[in-house]
Amino acid sequence: MRIGLMSQRGRVITSRGVKPIAMEQYVRENFWVYGVVEPLSGWHLCQEYPHLNGMHFQSFIDAVSTALGDELAVMQMDQAQAHRAQALIWPENLIPIFQPPYSPELNPTERFWQHLKSPLKGKCFETLDQLRKQLWDRIESLNAEAIASLTGYDFILEALFCAAL
């Protein structure tokens, strides 16, 4: 997820005929948060990087592999160039699966990102550090049960249960 100082826009509910007013800024400073979630248990791992590229993504998948230890996991991703880089070395305990193009609704992590960004709509931050603190406070405040509730799509949970049999 890329997040930065440019204002987040979104819909808000107002009275009929009342136009919402929100502050906006057009500062193009940003950073990336790479993340992985496990929809059944709510386990997650997030790390911050300055860019989305193969080198940083390799660091992230190595961190995920280390955090999993001996566990085997399927990692579902979109088809971003950094995710498909030829130079990536996939650890033996991670199996990459790429979702079809233009289908973020299939990826449970997208709902996690949406939840993290929603309270930032209409807010302006003076520095990336202020934004960073707000975002990481929000990530740390979520417990495993809340993350499982956000990311546990029925079709994914059904597939996990069938695979466990």
pLDDT in tens, 31-75: 999 999 998 889 999 999 999 999 999 999 999 999 999 999 989
Query: From start to end of the chain, where are the E strands?
Result: 2-4, 30-37, 44-49, 73-77, 94-98
As to burial, measured by CB atoms within 10 angstroms (0-12 exposed, 13-18 middle, 19+ buried), residue 140 is exposed
Q: Supply angle C-alpha 36, 40, 46, rounded to 5.
A: 20
pLDDT at residue 53 in the model: 93
Reading phi first (left if > 0) and then psi (alpha if -120 to 50, else beta), residue 71 is in beta
pLDDT at residue 118 in the model: 86
Helix axes 108-117, 128-141, angle to 10 degrees: 120
Tokens encoding 88: 């990536």
Can you name the residues that pair with 80 across neighbouring β-strands? none
pLDDT in tens, 67-121: 999 999 989 899 889 999 999 999 999 999 998 888 888 888 888 998 998 888 8
- Nearest 5°: phi and psi at 95? -115, 115
pLDDT greater than 80 at residue 133 = yes
Distance of CA 80 to the CA centre of its chain: 14
- Using DSSP's 3-state secondary structure scheme, residue 152 falls into coil
Tokens encoding 32: 């990336």
Say which DSSP state 99 is in: P
